[in-house]
Amino acid sequence: MNRLSILCVEDDKESRTPLSTLLPSDCQLIKASTVADGISLAKMKRFDLYLLESNLPDGTGIQLCQQLRTFDNRTPVLLFSEQKADWEQGFKAGVQAYLTKPADAHVLEAIIKCLIGQK
């Protein structure tokens, strides 16, 4: 059985670390901290899910999603944000799910499993 690959683009290491404990055991979490690194990784490898932070050092998660959608319109995207106003722009950019920080761990786990299960 192939391991599922999830790309997490989040510049805050403290936010990335707990994600690995919430993922199903057959998931591999690949981490990036910038839009540029996220695009580079997504072009090199196929992922089953993108987890994107809304505010990154070189842009936004919404901009990253828009760039991802130019070459990958199938992989689900979950956007994290501290700004509730980002949800509408996110959905227009191709995001499938949206969570406001701080996210409840059980809700996050359920959404991740649901998005991966849609594949």
CATH superfamily of 4-117: Response regulator (3.40.50.2300)
Read off the pLDDT of residues 55-112 as tens digits, 9 standing for 90 and up: 899 999 999 999 999 999 999 999 988 777 778 888 889 999 988 877 777 888 888 8
Query: Is 95 exposed, middle or buried (CB count within 10 Å of its CB: 0-12, 13-18, 19+)?
Result: buried
* Residue 15 pLDDT > 70: no
Stated pTM of the model = 0.88
Determine the angle formed by the axes of helices 61-68 and 86-93, rounding to 10 degrees. Answer: 10
Residue 119: what pLDDT? 45
Closest by CA to 31, choosing from 2, 14, 56, 6, is 6
Residue 102: what pLDDT? 72
